[in-house]
Amino acid sequence: MINMYDVIIIGAGAAGMTAGLYTSRKNLKTLIISMDVGGQTSIPSRIENYPGFEEVNGYELMTKFQTQAMKWGAEMITGKVVKVDKKGDGFKVDLIDKTSYEARAIILAFGKTPLSLGIPGEDKFMGKGVSTCVTCDAPLYKDKTVAVVGGGNSALGGAWELSSLAKKIYLIHRRDEFRGDEAEVDRVKKQDNIDLVLSHVPIEVKGNQFVEGLVVEDVNTKKQKTLEVDGVFVEIGFKVDSDFIGHLVKRNEQNEIISNQNCETSEPGIFACGDVSNVAFKQTVISAGEGAKAALQCYHYLSGAKGKVSIDWDH
């Protein structure tokens, strides 16, 4: 049959690419389908916590992952999956361009998507001063003033990265302390041109052709003020677009796909790994490890050997 694989991996970030490396090395005919290459890891310009690389560009690291998976035989296509259904003993995967592929097993590794603030002006100025990618757009703000919104490592890392280029950075967070790594918090606090605007939320992005200001509100006093900025970086978190698979696998309240220690989902033959799963921590090295687990458990499943762990989904 045409377009038939042993395993289809949906997503090509750290988890999907590592899964593809491992299934290929097990001689499983593997297809990786993804809208992009590299996922979240490909965005940061500098990664310092993927073991083996003291410092590496995210896109460069993900290109290495891809080369390695393809070297062992994994095929890769660009496409958006709109539907997955059971068919015979396996699954059928439909893409938005009306093409279909079939496989005996599926590995879900499509990660998560950045969240938006949902405030006036955000959409209007997207790409005209509003950005969700510091790495992509930082060079546009040399010697300018920008706002970074968020309190986690992406916001802290983004502010830090911008501080060597931009004149001034406002780091805006709704709480009175950050939730990112101590090391990230410390170096941001020490940086003279980063101004912490804590306990404030963004209300509106203002401008004419391009962004000219960001209105923020004190969460306690409700007092508003306008920060004169040339750019706004939104770094507040992510959502998981898993509705197309919701009829087949159990999900939690964040739409993450519930999986056990061996990446098994509630549906035999479907595995989940990385940011799309309910794994507690979203890190490149953790996603890579989970990708390897999903692949090895998938191999057990396809070779008819019983896996070591199985969730009893009825309890």
Give one DSSP letter per residue of 210-258, joined into a string.
SEEEEEEEETTT--EEEEE-SEEEE---EE---GGGTTTS-B-TTSPBP
> Is residue 165 close enough to count as binding a copy of itself by CB under 8 A?
yes
Options 80-88, 99-107, 228-236, 277-285: segment touching a copy of itself (CB under 8 A): 277-285
CB of 183 to a copy of itself, least distance (A): 5
- Is residue 288 a contact residue for a copy of itself (CB under 8 A)? yes
Binding residue for a copy of itself, selected from 5, 125, 160, 301, defined by CB under 8 A: 160
Residue 286 makes contact with a copy of itself by CB under 8 A: yes
Q: According to the binding rule CB under 8 A, does residue 297 interact with a copy of itself? A: yes
* Residues labelled as active-site residues: 133, 136-137
Residue 298 touches a copy of itself, criterion: CB under 8 A: no
Selection from 110, 111, 109, 102 nearest residue 29 by Cα: 102
* Cα radius of gyration (the chain): 21
CA distances from 43 to 31, 55, 119, 241, 296 (A): 23, 14, 24, 19, 28
Q: Is position 27 an interface residue for a copy of itself (rule: CB under 8 A)?
A: yes
Amino acid identity of 36? Answer: D
Q: What's the half-sphere exposure (Cβ side, CA atoms, 13 Å) at 40?
A: 24
Q: Does 103 engage in binding with a copy of itself (CB under 8 A)?
A: no
Among 206, 260, 275, 276, binds a copy of itself (CB under 8 A): 260
Rule CB under 8 A: say whether 6 interacts with a copy of itself: no
74 C-beta neighbours (distance < 10 Å), count: 26
Structure tokens at 278: 């309910």
Does the protein bind a copy of itself through residue 304 (CB under 8 A)? yes
| Closest distance of CB 197 from a copy of itself, Å | 23
Out of 1, 54, 97, 143, the residue judged to bind a copy of itself by CB under 8 A: 54
Q: Which of 67, 99, 226, 254 binds a copy of itself (CB under 8 A)?
A: 67
Tokens found for residue 231: 């750019």
Binder among 97, 281, 312, 314 for a copy of itself (CB under 8 A): 281
Nearest alpha carbon to residue 106 among 250, 17, 7: 7
State the nearest-atom distance from the C-beta of 144 to a copy of itself, in Å: 15
- Choose, by CB under 8 A, the member of 161, 230, 235, 275 that binds a copy of itself: 161
Shortest separation between residue 59's beta carbon and a copy of itself, angstroms: 13
Residue 168, φ and ψ in degrees, nearest 5: -145, 145
DSSP string, 81-147: EEEEEEETTEEEEEETTS-EEEEEEEEE----EE-----TTTTTTBTTTEES-HHHHGGGGTTSEEE
**Chain positions contacting a copy of itself, by CB under 8 A:** 14, 17-18, 21-22, 24-27, 48-54, 56, 61, 64-65, 67-68, 71-72, 135, 138-139, 157, 160-161, 164-165, 181-184, 186, 260-262, 279-281, 283, 285-290, 292-293, 296-297, 303-305, 307-309
